[in-house]
Chains A and B, each alone.
Chain A
Amino acid sequence: MVQYSATRLDASFAALSDATRRGVLEQLGRGDASITELADRFHMTLTGMKKHVGVLEQAGLVTTEKVGRVRTCRLGLRGFEEEVAWIEERHRIWSLRFDALDQVIEAMKRREKADGRTRE
């Protein structure tokens, strides 16, 4: 069974609560970027962007690597996949349930129609 770490999920959900940080994740989904590039892209100061990246990094959603004077950010896929898996599992189960409910409703409708016909 898949185990989700609660503290890990906490950090991830907090990280995802900010529109800029979601934007950064989306951007990194298209390719790695340096902090400077991200700051430019989101019209922020370097310090501001560093803080956002720090939050994402702590949540395990982003990893960074400093080569020379440039710090490159990339998606920390493991964390992100955990979020997606969490909600997708819930979606899978509700879909199964509701597909079964569709069939029950269909049967109820057929029955009602048949009963109506007998009464007429």
Chain B
Amino acid sequence: MGERVSDGRTTVERKSDCELVVTRVFDGPVRLVFDAWTKAELFQLWWAPKSSGVPMLACEMDARTGGGYSVTFGKDAGSAMTFYGKYLEVTPPSRLIWTNEESEQGAVTTVTFEEEEGDRTRLVLQELYPSKEALDESFVGMEDTMPEQFRQLDELLATQAANV
């Protein structure tokens, strides 16, 4: 274990077979950073950045302990894929835990927000997967959010290549 990549800002580390941890410091107070994770109109501004090429089509969040969320990605309605789950804990502005229930292999994600000197926020995101295989093959969002569609696209391209 212990694979770790850091560029001095964002650190991603595989802590164990089933656990991935992402750490980052943001230049803003905890309450603002927490809002950006729990208010749908803010969350959808950054979770799927333009450069990902797969926009977020819809986002609903009921960020209360026991509440639910659903986030839909896709280029159009036909290729859309929805991720959803429940908030196991919402403790403003310091802790957020949600489940990913769109598949059996979904992680439980815990995000903690810690105040740092200079009105900054240290954010630690932990994804805990049900098995090692689930993490090995986990989606990272973006292009990987739609393996099915990409397989179909691969097949289509292969067919076209064969016809040329």
| A contact residues vs B (CB 8 Å cutoff) | 1, 4, 6, 9-10, 13, 16-17, 22, 83-84, 86-91, 93-106, 108-109, 112
Contact = CB atoms under 8 A, between A and B. Distances in A.
B27 A105 contact: yes
B142 A93 contact: yes
Interface of B: 1-7, 9-10, 12, 14, 17, 20, 22, 24, 26-28, 32-33, 35-36, 42, 45-49, 51-52, 125, 132-133, 136-137, 140-144, 147, 150, 154
Consensus secondary structure, chain A interface: helix
A10 B154 contact: no
Contacts of A102: 26-27
Contact of B136 (A6, A17, A84, A104): A6
B131 to A, nearest CB: 10
A4 B136 contact: yes
Contacts, number: 104
9 contacts: A13-B17, A17-B2, A86-B136, A87-B12, A91-B6, A98-B10, A98-B24, A103-B46, A105-B33
Nearest to A13: B1
10 A-B pairs with least C-beta separation: A100-B46, A105-B28, A100-B49, A91-B5, A101-B46, A91-B12, A9-B136, A87-B3, A93-B140, A95-B10
